[in-house]
Amino acid sequence: MDLLKLADEIIEGKRLTREDPLNEIFIDCDYDQLCEGADKLRKHFKNDRVDLCSIINGRSGKCPEDCKYCAQSAHYHTDCKTYDFISEDEIVEACKLHESEGVDRFSIVTSGRALTGEEFEKALHAFKRMQDECNIELCASMGFLTREQFRKLKEIGIVRYHHNIETSKRFFPQICSTHTYEQKFETLHILKEEGMQICSGGILGMGENWEDRIDMAVSLAEVGVDSIPLNALMPIKGTPLEHNERLSEEDIVRTVAIFRYINPEAHIRLAAGRALMKDDGKKAFLSGASATITGNMLTTVAKATIRSDREMLASIGRETKVV
């Protein structure tokens, strides 16, 4: 398969589906040609502007779900900090900091199956304050919310919601038993019906194979997600995946490029695991990635991280928000 010709066909309107021989096309294909074609697609569909987002952990630990990769699950014994929903002032202060450093969007992320009751109302109030006091796009990642909750978020101006599917349908039962793949997709379809943008991706290196990664990319394309965060597993002591071998840079970059071919119009967003790559993932940005999570939720270090990301991106001709 000539992957550069395939990239041209995608630019002209072709879209890859389950009917195409995707495993034959992408597994063991020429790495350099794959990366070159993916970068061509990135430039055509997303130009040279890199979308930067940051998060704050609004509630941590004590999660009843048993996702095998997660330090915040109550099923495992890790060094994860646990705390209830943090103060509104802390959230707003962090939002203003990231806005001042040139971040495009800011999200509150919470542990647990879903944010409910008084804590959800606190989150709504924090979002309202950020809308009034900041000029930055806002997102949320709060688990399996109800349709009514999504409508409340949308009413106050939250346009995008994050909800990862994590992996393929085949492999999902190997990493979680307390909720299902189908429940994940039910949430994505509710978001679509309510007119919200969707940020949904997964984690690489949990024991899945290349067919699983390709299947995840196709599933996300079928929903039509707007942003796909790709995390490379950083094995955490105390979790069932603590002894998994870390992925190579080539495997991460190859996955990014494949996702660009299958989801040409979405943001392919680097997330956790950038430390596994040289220069914080520079090669991935030259192979289809168009967005990233930046900062690390620690005020002073986050500044340095965002600035170093902006410098690295400028060095390869990418643009970020002017500050």
Q: How sure is the predictor about 295, in pLDDT bands with cuts at 50, 70 and 90?
A: confident
The domain containing residue 165 runs over which residues?
Answer: 20-313
Does the residue 194 lie in any domain? yes
pLDDT band at 300 (very low <50, low <70, confident <90, very high): very low
* Closest among 107, 117, 59, 55 to 84, alpha carbons compared: 59
In a domain, 15, yes or no: no
Split at pLDDT 50, 70, 90, the class of 304 is low
What is the reported pTM?
Answer: 0.96
Q: Say whether 259 sits in a helix, a strand or coil.
A: helix
The total domain count for the chain is: 1
Beta strands in 68-189 (DSSP E): 105-110, 137-141, 160-162
What tokens were used for 207?
A: 């024991």
Calpha distance 243→146 (Å, rounded): 36
> Which pLDDT band holds residue 98 (cuts at 50, 70, 90)?
very high
* AA identity, residue 228: I
Domain membership flag for residue 125: yes
Kindly give, in sequence order, each residue whose CB lies less than 8 Å from that of residue 322, ignoring residues fewer than 6 positions away. 102
Using CB atoms within 10 Å of the CB of residue 275, give its burial: 0 to 12 exposed, 13 to 18 middle, 19+ buried. exposed
Tell me the pairing of strands 105-110 and 51-59: parallel
What's the CA gap between 253 and 233, in Å, rounded?
14
**Per-residue confidence at 299, pLDDT binned at 50, 70, 90?**
very low
Asked whether residue 188 is domain-assigned, the answer is yes
Report yes or no on 3 lying in a domain: no
The per-residue pLDDT of the chain, averaged, comes to: 95
- Residue 119 reports pLDDT greater than 50: yes
Mean pLDDT of 299-318: 82
In a domain, residue 33? The reply is yes
Residue at 78 is within a domain: yes
The single residue listed with the structure tokens 């709060």 is 142
Instruction: Indicate whether 301 pLDDT > 70.
Output: no
Residues in the chain: 323
179: helix, strand or coil:
coil
In a domain, 11, yes or no: no
Residue 295 belongs to domain with CATH number: 3.20.20.70
